[in-house]
Structure 1
Amino acid sequence: MKYFQLKEAQLTGLRNDLHMRDPRQKFDEIYVSATGRVNYDERKLNPDFVSIPPIVVSDTIKRLFKDYQADIEARAVYFNDIEQQKQFVYWWLELPTTRECLHEKTTYGARGEITELVIQAERAKMYHIFQIKHQNQYYWVINLAVAESLLRRGLSGFILEEVRSLMYNE
C-alpha cells in the first residue's frame, strides 16, 4: 500500500491569516469548539487544510476522513472577522496517533527531528489515516485511497508527499 504525508502548501500571499485565540490550547481541553480570528480578504483563497498550529481542515475534508476512519474526533474552530461580520468554520481533528508505524529505517536529523519518514507497512495497514507525533511535531499520513479521494475533490491548501513504506524485515 502507498502512503502519503499530508502537508500544508505554502500559499504565501494567498492564504487568509488564521489565528487561534489561545494557540497553546490542547484538543482535550476544549469540549465542543474553539475560536480564533481571521482577517478576511475575498481575493485570497480559503484553503481546506491549514497548519496554524493546530492543523485545521474544512468541513469537506472532515467528512471525507470520517468516511474512511469513523473513530476520528473533531472539534469545531470558529474563525471570526469582526469588522466584516464573517465567520468561518474549520475542524480540529484528533487522528489516531501511533509511533508503532515508524520503520527502523526512518532517518533523523542532528536535533532528532525526522528527516525521512519511513512507514512499517504491516502495522500501518489497519489505518487509512493516522498521525505520528515526534518532538512536538505531527506528521499526518494517509493511504492511497484517501489521497485519491482528496485530489478528486479539488481541495486546496495541502500537498501530498509520498512516504516510503517497507515490510518489517526490509
Structure 2
Amino acid sequence: LKGSNVDSSDVTEQFYDLEAHMKNNRVEEEGLQKFLLEKSTTGTLDEILKIRKEIRAIRGEIDRQEGQLQRWSNDSSFATITLTIYEREVPVVAAVPVVPKFVERIRQTFSESLEAMLGVCRELTIAVVAVVPWLPMILLVVVFLWMISPRPRKRIASPPGND
C-alpha cells in the first residue's frame, strides 16, 4: 500500500445532540400550548400574543432541527465509498549473465547459422512465387522481340577461288 486517503464526516454525536434539543423544544412547546389554553380564558390579549410568538419561535426551531436530522439521515442513506487500487510495480532484478561453455557456443552458432540459411531459403521461395505469375507475359514479350528482331543472314559459301 503506497498510501491511503480517508475523508468522512461523522455526525453521530451531533445527530444525537440535535435529537435531544428537539425533544426539549417539543416539551417546551407543549408547556407553552397548555399555558396558552389557560391564558386564553383568563389572560390579556398582550399575554396571549407573547405566548403565541414564543410558540412560533420554538416551532420554527423544531422544524429546522427536523430538517437537519432528515438531511443527515438521507446523507447516510446515500453514502458513497470510492476505492482506488493501484498495482505496485515490482522492480526487475537484472540477471547475472552466464557465459556459455565452448561446446555450447559452437552448438548455438551452428543453430543460428542453420536458422539464417533456412530464412534465406524461405525468402527465395517467396520471391519465386511472386515472379511466377509474370513469367507467361515475360515469355511472350521475349518471343515477340525475337521474332521481329533482324537476324544475320547466313551466307552461302562460295567455292574457293571464285572470288
Instruction: Output the TM-score relative to the length of structure 2.
Output: 0.14
Instruction: Output the TM-score relative to the length of structure 1.
Output: 0.14
Q: Name the structure where helix makes up a greater proportion of residues.
A: 2
Q: Relative CO higher for 1 or 2, CA cutoff 8 Å, sep ≥ 6? A: 1
Q: Name the structure where strand makes up a greater proportion of residues.
A: 1
Larger Rg: 2
